[in-house]
Amino acid sequence: MTPPPTPRLYRVAVPVPLPSLFDYLPGPARAGLEPGQRVLVRFGPRKLVGVVMASAETSDLPLERLQPLLAVLDDHEPVVTGEQLRLLRWCAHYYKHPPGEVLFNALPPALRRSEGRLPEPPSQLRLLPAGRERLDEGPGRAPAQHRVLAALADGPLAPGALREKAAATAALVRTVQENGWVASEPRGAAAPVPGQAPAPTGEQARVLEALHNAPDGFACHLLDGVTGSGKTEVYLRLAEHVLGKGRQVLLLVPEIGLTPQLLRRFRSRLGLEPVVSHSGIASGERLEAWAAALRGDAKLLIGTRSALFLPLREPGLIIMDEAHDASFKQQDGFRYSARDVAVKRALELDVPIVLGTATPSLESLNNAAQGRFRHHRLVERATGAPPPAWRVVDLCGQHIDGGLSARALEAIGDTLARREQVLVFLNRRGYAPVLLCHDCGWHADCRFCDAHLTWHRSGRRLHCHHCGERQPAPRFCPECGADALEGAGEGTEQLEQVLSRHFPETDLYRVDRDRVRRKGELEAVVEAVRGGDPCLLVGTQMLAKGHHFPRVTLVVVVNLDQALYSADFRAMERMAQVLVQVAGRAGRADHPGTVILQTHHPEHEGLRTLVREGYGVFAAQLLEERRLAGLPPFAYQATVRAEAPERARVQAFLESAREAWPGAAETVFGPFPAMMERRGGRIRWYLLLQSDNRNTLQSLLDRFVPRLRGLETARRVRWTVDLDPQEF
Ligand code: ADP
Ligand code: ZN
Ligand code: ZN
């Protein structure tokens, strides 16, 4: 095969916050490079890793002003496929984000560095018959070589393990290979034996049939199934089917949904080692996952948001579990929605995608109503357990102990007496969200944020949950000196204390980010609870997702009132999603469950609908309200966010941005301060852009963003564009 001719220049993506690609002369790249190969380039005074996006014959710059590539980093093959490059370019365009940053966000960290290389596929070394003969001859004059052969006498070893066992250098191992005594071969993980699948329930069978009968190719399926209805079981069956055709399955899960339990379930059912990728694993493992996916060896890929960008050679199916989950939207830097990009990727790959959730986002419900998504419902629990019964407890005028009403405490006592388990949910860490002086009214605020400091009593510290600021908690009021400091409101630490006072004999597990930090700690709690002895579980969202606690029959929701009158139009939707998630932990097996919802607003219309008629009816009402108010999903939004230490700079920039907006006056709103105006010492504001047509908004932004870059005031703030913003 003749090497492709060398073009005049290459267009390279570089991780810099600039909207363009950059042209370089081939330099040392003798044979033609392909898109997706990494190179080293000079960029101003720095040397940066870049990714070749295309070759070209002409540049906007005169050729003599272009720099040559400094080095080719991937000399054999691209580390990013053409399909990925197209997807990432689409992302850069849709999200108005610099293409180099979009691309480097997708790469595993090891490949962002110039010394990073794709690893070789895992191999092992095997003793050949000639090597066996040489071994039998005895050490002779080459004892070291003999030692290597002896180390392989009991069976093949990975190169590293062999070097260790035989105390051999890599060169020595190479010598015995070259002598024809030892051969290298690919190492396959020993496949576990696939497990038994339960017969599908009637509902599951209907969904599976609909999916199997769907024509090949792209379709988006919204799998709207109550907690415990067997959605995971449906994923397993679909995955089995697709894997059976030799195709890859990509499963995306929320950040705290990637549990050993889930992996075990996939591994043991499908008889296949899932390749796992998320930002929490070691850089080497993430690189291995990327490489295995690129080779097509990884058949089942499981990961969080960032795994969406893994290479796929033989794609067959994308599944997103808990598709409504907020962690699928990246909230800094390149602010993409993994759900929306996953749908786009499935469309381009022409494969089906399944969005599974018990609480679909209003966006997804609207897509289903419009016929863009196919809506499949699972309304019954797969185990036949009845849905939990709701009890709303009015907190007004009640005696409350550490956040718990007398009725809640009584129900907890009764449940424990029946030797069942209780989960108490409160989405707030620490002892109390405020520390205040009973004499003068002083309270501890963060110096850097518009927020109270949370009192962590056990460590005698005050923490800011927004910027990470930590300081010792004062003994006396810093304002008036009184010994009258008290916590106001409650957090999980306080709940733990109150509950262990009321139920001193009962095992209590607190699960939040302060208590459960290390890998395996949550697992240990989950295992203990699954043991089945009566116990109390106290915790935040960490408890609410993904775990099955078959003997929990009572869930107490301490307080979700904050959301009821929030200025954020998505607050109610999110509150309902959390509530339904948590409630779903109750009574999963043969024990019926109860959910106690404590509130100061039992009369709240939305809350009543949710409790009485369920998420579906509730969401339909919210959707109708959004339609009337002209809010998403009936309008398309973008924000320009800006922050700086001084308010004046932020306002000046956003005022000039408003002037520069090419759309009609009724499509631009603000500037407004962010919900939390000051965070981490920076003042944050935004400008809201809205249109009832996605394409109109896109083309306006295409004209607008270059203008923003040219604004004098833009240099004095940090600013970004956020498409389909989820936070304000
Ligand atoms: P979801 O993902 O919707 O919460 P799961 O797939 O985890 O639901 O199923 C909930 C429980 O029901 C699990 O314990 C699972 O083993 C069980 N289950 C699911 N499908 C079936 C079935 N067809 N027959 C019996 N049990 C099932
Ligand atoms: Zn005071
Ligand atoms: Zn702070």
Ligand nearest to the CA of 467: 3
Nearest CA to ligand 1 atom 19: 230
For residue 198, the CA-to-ligand 2 centroid distance in Å is: 63
Q: What is the pLDDT of residue 189?
A: 59
Among 201, 232, 266, 320, residue to substitute to test ligand 1 (most atoms within 8 Å of Cβ)? 232
| 437 Cα: distance to centroid of ligand 2 (angstroms) | 4
Q: At the top level of CATH, which class does the domain 389-432+489-624 belong to?
A: alpha beta
Ligand nearest to the CA of 449: 3
The structural domains of the chain, with segments of one domain joined by +, span 9-112, 123-186, 202-378, 389-432+489-624, 433-488, 636-723
Ligand 1 closest atom vs CA 200: 23
Rounded to the nearest whole angstrom, what is the distance from the C-alpha of residue 514 to the centroid of ligand 3?
A: 17
Q: Distance between terminal CA atoms of the chain?
A: 56
Average pLDDT estimate for 281-289? 91
Q: Report the separation in Å between the CA atom of 476 and the middle of ligand 2, taken as the mean of its atom positions.
A: 8
Write the pLDDT tens digit of every residue in 69-80: 999 998 778 999
Q: What CATH class does 636-723 carry?
A: alpha beta
Give the per-residue pLDDT at 586.
Answer: 84
What pLDDT does residue 517 have?
Answer: 82
Residues linked to residue 723 through DSSP beta bridges, in sequence order: 638
Res. 676: pLDDT tops 80: yes
* The predicted structure's pLDDT at residue 41: 96
Best substitution site from 196, 383, 526, 588 to test ligand 1's pocket, by max atoms within 8 Å of Cβ? 383
The per-residue pLDDT of the chain, averaged, comes to: 92
pLDDT value for 592: 79
Report the candidate in 306, 320, 313 with the shortest Cα–Cα distance to residue 292: 313
Structure tokens at 545: 């997702």
Q: 450 forms bridges with which residues in the sheet?
A: none
Using pLDDT thresholds of 50, 70 and 90, give the confidence band for residue 196: confident
What confidence score (pLDDT) does residue 715 get?
A: 95
Closest CA to 276 of 254, 256, 251, 296: 251
Please report which ligand is nearest the Cα atom of 480.
2
The Cα 413–Cα 394 span in angstroms is 19
What's the confidence (pLDDT) of residue 566?
A: 87
Cβ–Cβ < 8 Å for 533, 507? yes
Give pLDDT tens digits for 594-619.
999 999 999 999 999 999 999 999 99
Q: How far apart are CA 650 and CA 643, in angstroms?
A: 6
Q: Which of 203, 223, 233, 262 to mutate to test the pocket of ligand 1 (most atoms within 8 A of CB)?
A: 233
Residue 486 CA: which ligand is closest? 2
- At 190, is the pLDDT very low, low, confident or very high (cuts 50, 70, 90)? low
Burial of 305 (0-12, 13-18, 19+ CB in 10 A): buried
What span, in angstroms and rounded, lies between the C-alpha atoms of 725 and 285? 32
Q: Please determine, for residue 544, whether its predicted confidence score (pLDDT) is greater than 90.
A: no
Question: What single-letter amino acid sits at 488?
Answer: A
Do 290 and 311 touch, CB atoms closer than 8 A? Answer: yes
Stated pTM of the model: 0.90
Query: Is the confidence at residue 17, as pLDDT, over 80?
Result: yes
User: Is the Cβ–Cβ distance between 67 and 10 less than 8 Å?
Assistant: no
CA of 439 to the centre of ligand 2 (A): 5
Q: Do domains 202-378 and 389-432+489-624 have the same CATH topology?
A: yes
Residue nearest to atom 5 of ligand 1 (CA): 230
CA–CA distance, 512 with 428 (Å, rounded to integer): 9
- As a whole number, mean pLDDT of residues 527-555 equals 88
Q: How confident is the model at residue 272 (pLDDT cuts 50, 70, 90)?
A: confident
pLDDT at 392: 95
CA angle 420, 422, 424 (to 5 degrees): 180
Ligand 1 centre and the CA of 268: distance in Å?
A: 15
Rounded CA gap, 403 and 426, in Å?
9
- Per the omega criterion (within 30 degrees of 0), is the bond before 671 cis? yes
Q: Given pLDDT bands bounded at 50, 70 and 90, which one contains residue 188?
A: low
With H, G, I as helix, E, B as strand and everything else as coil, classify residue 167: coil
The CATH topology of domain 202-378 is: Rossmann fold (3.40.50)
CA distance 412 to 490: 18
Q: What is the CA radius of gyration of the chain?
A: 29
Query: Among 150-164, 572-586, 710-724, where is mean pLDDT lowest?
Result: 150-164
What is the 425 CA–ligand 1 centroid distance (Å)? 23
Of the candidates 619, 668, 630, 671, the one whose C-alpha atom is nearest the C-alpha of residue 650 is 671
Q: Is the confidence at residue 156, as pLDDT, over 90?
A: no
Integer Cα distance of 23 and 448 in angstroms: 43
Upstream peptide bond of 633 is cis (omega within 30 degrees of 0): yes
Is the CB of residue 116 less than 8 Å from the CB of residue 124?
no
Residue ranges in 503-558 assigned as alpha helix (H)? 521-530, 541-544
Cβ-contact 153, 127 below 8 angstroms: yes
Those residues whose beta carbon sits under 5 angstroms from the ion ligand 3 are: 446, 448-449, 464, 466-467, 469
Which residue carries 């329930």 as its tokens? 201
Query: Of residues 523 and 618, which shows the higher confidence score?
Result: 618
Q: Please, which contacts does 102-106 make with residues 24 or more away whose CB atoms are closer than 8 Å?
A: 102/334, 103/13, 103/15, 103/51, 104/13, 104/15, 104/51, 105/306, 105/309, 105/333, 105/334, 106/80, 106/306, 106/309
| Cα–Cα distances in angstroms (integers) from residue 133 to residues 155, 173, 182, 595, in the given order | 15, 17, 12, 72
Pick from 126-130, 373-377, 470-474, 634-638: least confident? 126-130
Instruction: Compute the distance from residue 681 Cα to the ligand 3 centre, in Å.
Output: 8
> DSSP of 194-254, one letter per residue?
P-PPPPPPHHHHHHHHHHHHSPSS-EEEEEEE-TTSSHHHHHHHHHHHHHHTT-EEEEE--
Name residue 478's amino acid. Answer: P
**Which comes out higher in pLDDT, residue 550 or 305?**
305
Predicted confidence band at 542 (pLDDT cuts at 50, 70, 90)? confident
Distances (CA, A) of 153 to 135, 137, 156, 157, 176: 9, 14, 8, 10, 14
Strands 38-43 and 71-72: antiparallel
| pLDDT at residue 638, rounded to an integer | 98
- The pLDDT, as a whole number, for residue 661 is 98
Going from the Cα of 332 to the center of ligand 3, the distance in angstroms, rounded, reads 17
Q: What is the 3-class SS of 586-624, one letter each residue?
A: CCCCCCCCEEEEEECCCCCHHHHHHHHHHHHHHHHHHHH
Predicted pLDDT of residue 186:
72
For residues 366-377, give the mean pLDDT.
Answer: 96
Q: Starting from the CA of residue 484, give the closest ligand.
A: 2
CA of 472 to the centre of ligand 3 (A): 14
Residue 491: helix, strand or coil by DSSP?
Answer: coil
CB 66 within 8 A of CB 9: yes
> How confident is the model at residue 613, as a pLDDT?
94
Task: Give yes or no for residue 292 having a pLDDT over 80.
Answer: yes
For ligand 1, atom 20, which residue shows the shortest CA distance? Answer: 230
Ligand 1, CB within 6 Å, residue ranges: 198-201, 204, 225, 227-233, 382-383, 548
The mean pLDDT of 370-375, rounded to a whole number, is: 96
Give the model's confidence band at 588: pLDDT under 50 very low, under 70 low, under 90 confident, else very high: low
Q: Architecture of 9-112 per CATH?
A: 3-Layer(aba) Sandwich (3.40)
Q: Report pLDDT for 589.
A: 64
**Which ligand is nearest to the Cα of residue 448, counting in written order?**
3
Task: Report the pLDDT value the prediction gives residue 546, as an integer from 0 to 100.
Answer: 67
**pLDDT tens, position by position, 410-464:** 999 999 999 999 999 999 999 999 999 999 999 999 999 999 999 999 989 999 9
Measured between alpha carbons, how far is 622 from 690 in angstroms, rounded to an integer? 20
Runs of H (alpha helix) within 24-97? 82-95
Dmax over CA atoms of the chain, in Å, equals 93
Q: Is 142 helix (H, G, I), strand (E, B) or coil?
A: coil
pLDDT of residue 2: 58
> How much is the pLDDT for 192?
66
* Residue 319 pLDDT level (bands cut at 50, 70, 90): very high
Q: What is the reported pLDDT for 141?
A: 86
Answer positive or negative: Cα dihedral of 210, 212, 216, 221: positive
Residue whose Cα lies nearest atom 4 of ligand 1: it is 228
